[in-house]
Amino acid sequence: MTEITKTLNKCERPQNSKIDISFCELSMEDESNLQDLIDECSSLKIANTFSKSRFSRIFEKPKNRLEKLELICVDFRDESQIISIFKSCQSLKTLNLSGIRVASSTTSFMDPQLPAAIIALPHLVNLDLSFNSSWISEQNWNQLLKELEKLEELAMNETKCDVQFESDWLPHLSIFSARGSDLHWDSIFEMLSVSDRITRVDVRFSTIDSSLPEELQKGNLRIGDILY
């Protein structure tokens, strides 16, 4: 991997590029070699990849061009490492944290500082927190859903959570996905029924009663797709 990252480090830095780092192991040298290249990219995906530093070398400088960040099935020692990454990525519009693993969460749920750090991202409009039920508590979900007023797309696939949604939450939401989930469906569909932005809902393979999406489809003609 080191020889590859050395070669990449010598490449011309195209703007608005996408970098995908998946299924590999990064050394500190690899991260140093990649840092300048990632500084210029607008989209970064890190999936099923191990880093001893938990990517601290990559994100030690601000990533002002980065608008889309995907950290998928990645291991962290604690939430502070994730928060540190967010502080370097204040231009993010899209954030995917699906299936991440936090070692400290084996005995406790997410520190409230991590939801606060997500909420603090000033440009965030698209959030994916799928496959994280084991370490995101209902209190954390409540904090996120209540405060993320600018969010336009939300994915919480394969999620088990009994938080009761309020009708004034997520006022700008246009796309909602909760495939394979077990949620407080009555309150969710009550919120969606009064939304003037929602256009697509995907609740396939979930525990929902089919009458709820059927009623929503009849009552909210703005919705083009309801998958259940």
pLDDT at 7 over 70: no
CATH topology of domain 43-227: 3.80.10
Which among 121, 108, 43 has a CA at the least distance from the CA of 82?
Answer: 121
Per-residue pLDDT of 22-39, as tens digits, reads 999 999 999 988 888 899
Rounded to the nearest integer, the mean pLDDT of the chain is 89
pLDDT at 8 over 70: no
For range 47-67, the mean pLDDT: 93
Per-residue pLDDT of 158-196, as tens digits, reads 999 999 999 999 999 999 999 999 999 999 999 999 999
| CA–CA gap between residue 148 and residue 145 (Å, rounded) | 6
pTM score of the predicted model = 0.91
Cβ-proximal residues to 214 (8 Å cutoff; 6+ apart), any chain: none
